[in-house]
Amino acid sequence: MKPFTYVTARSPASALELVREQGRFLAGGIDLLGEMKESIATPARLVNIKALPDTMAVTNANGRWRIGTNVTLATLAAHAGMKPALTGLVEAAADVGSPQIRHVATIGGNLAQHSRCWYYRHRDVNCRKKGGRLCYAREGESKFHSLFTGCTCLSPLGSNIAIALAALDARVFVQRGRKVESMTMAELYATAWRTPTAHHSLRDDDLILRIEVPAAPQGRSAYLQVAERSDFDWALVSCAASARVVDGKLQNARIVLGAVAPIPWQADAANAALEGKPVTTATAEQAADLLLQEARPFGDNAYKIPIARALVRRTLMKLVA
């Protein structure tokens, strides 16, 4: 690990000023410190943002949940008020890592984390994500990689939280220069689809301040994932869904797949197919067909398709259970 300086920011403005000199923001540090140990990231300065005001609270007012960027995943997973209202988000937080990690990791850091692709994480491999010429997963081992291959880098999004928030129509509020801008979850990761070196749409000096989630009356949400191990493991495939359920039928349904693309994978046609429908095997299979119609698996990751189909069905069933 190369030498670096460490400073604590007391305001968003000072954080942005301090990070501009080859710096990186530091909250829980779960992802960044791992990259530094492997010499993948070599910041000259770490800017501690844990002291920023109004970033540690979870509040519910004016029909919206507001979650500060430094709220830990353990806080989300154990939040009594949030569990009935935003069940899918609570379930996604509870599935991240181990209890020790969840007590340190923050929601902002989880959204901004970098690729978990083993080629990207190998210090001696200069893949496309690191500015090289090749995506080695296309000809190498692609077991954990994307099913949707229209982009030039096959490393999938690793954030559970992003998938749950996408289904909940959440927005991320980012300090960008002197302005605070909001992004949908699709916008937060859109650049990762277009640009192989990008992990998300954030610039180096963009700072996530908070996440806001609509508190829809009578809305339900759910999250499920499949991993190789039941605890402390990354999702092979994840699925989140939300909807209002009226007389057993879905309204304003959203369903999202994770760990299958560099972005939260959604399809407007799948959501439309669920509108006004009861949750049955037939409606779930139709939604899965529409979500997966552009999937182009490689030899090592075709197993993800039947897993995704099963998760779509089971997650939708949880909405009406």
What's the 3-state SS for the chain?
CCCCEEEECCCHHHHHHHHCCCEEEECCCHHHHHHHHCCCCCCCEEEECCCCCCCCCEEEECCEEEEECCCEHHHHHHCCCHHHHCHHHHHHHHCCCCHHHHCCCEHHHHHHCCCCCHHHHCCCCCCHHHCCCCCHHHCCCCCCCCCCCCCCCCCCCCCHHHHHHHHCCCEEEEEECCEEEEEEHHHHHHHHHHCCCCCCCCCCCCEEEEEEEECCCCEEEEEEEECCCCCCCCCCEEEEEEEEEECCEEEEEEEEEECCCCCCECCHHHHHHHCCCECCHHHHHHHHHHHHCCCCCCCCCCCHHHHHHHHHHHHHHHHHC
Are residues 209 and 270 located together in one domain of the fold? no
Whether residue 321 is predicted with pLDDT greater than 70 in this model: the reply is yes
**Distance of alpha carbon 304 from alpha carbon 260, whole angstroms:** 8
Are residues 183 and 299 located together in one domain of the fold? no
Residue 189 lies in a domain: yes
CATH code for the domain of 308: 3.30.390.50
Residue 126 lies in a domain: no
Are residues 281 and 258 located together in one domain of the fold? yes
Residue at token pair 């996408």: 166
Average pLDDT rounded to a whole number, residues 156-171: 97
Are residues 99 and 231 located together in one domain of the fold? no
Instruction: State how many domains the chain has.
Output: 3
* 20-51 per-position pLDDT tens digit: 989 999 999 999 999 999 999 999 999 999 99
Of residues 63 and 145, more confidence is placed in 145
Residue 14 lies in a domain: yes
Range of the domain at 245: 219-320
Are residues 71 and 198 located together in one domain of the fold? yes
Instruction: Output the six-digit token pair for 62.
Output: 């004016």
pLDDT band at 151 (very low <50, low <70, confident <90, very high): confident
**pLDDT reported for residue 217:** 66
pLDDT band at 290 (very low <50, low <70, confident <90, very high): very high
Whether residue 67 is predicted with pLDDT greater than 80 in this model: the reply is yes
Are residues 63 and 199 located together in one domain of the fold? yes
| Least-confidence region, from 150-159, 199-208, 215-224 | 215-224
| Ramachandran bin of 259, using left for φ above 0, alpha for ψ from -120 to 50, beta for the remaining angles | left
| Least-confidence region, from 63-77, 216-230, 285-299 | 216-230
Whether residue 274 is predicted with pLDDT greater than 90 in this model: the reply is yes
Are residues 206 and 68 located together in one domain of the fold? yes
Supply φ then ψ for residue 21, to 5 degrees: -90, 70
Mean of pLDDT over the chain: 95
Average pLDDT rounded to a whole number, residues 128-138: 95
Average pLDDT rounded to a whole number, residues 66-90: 96
Residue 131 lies in a domain: no
CATH code for the domain of 9: 3.30.43.10
Whether residue 276 is predicted with pLDDT greater than 80 in this model: the reply is yes
End residue of a domain, out of 11, 37, 52: 52
Residue 150 lies in a domain: no
Are residues 12 and 88 located together in one domain of the fold? no
Are residues 34 and 66 located together in one domain of the fold? no
Average pLDDT rounded to a whole number, residues 241-268: 96
Average pLDDT rounded to a whole number, residues 294-303: 92
Residue 141 lies in a domain: no
**pLDDT reported for residue 21:** 82
**pLDDT reported for residue 298:** 85
Are residues 238 and 303 located together in one domain of the fold? yes
**pLDDT reported for residue 24:** 97
Residue 143 lies in a domain: no
Residue 175 lies in a domain: yes
Report the DSSP beta bridge partners of residue 61.
64
End residue of a domain, out of 14, 34, 52: 52
End residue of a domain, out of 193, 214, 235: 214
Per cent of the chain over pLDDT 70 is 99
Are residues 104 and 171 located together in one domain of the fold? yes
CATH code for the domain of 177: 3.30.465.10
pLDDT band at 232 (very low <50, low <70, confident <90, very high): confident
**pLDDT reported for residue 63:** 85
Are residues 202 and 88 located together in one domain of the fold? yes
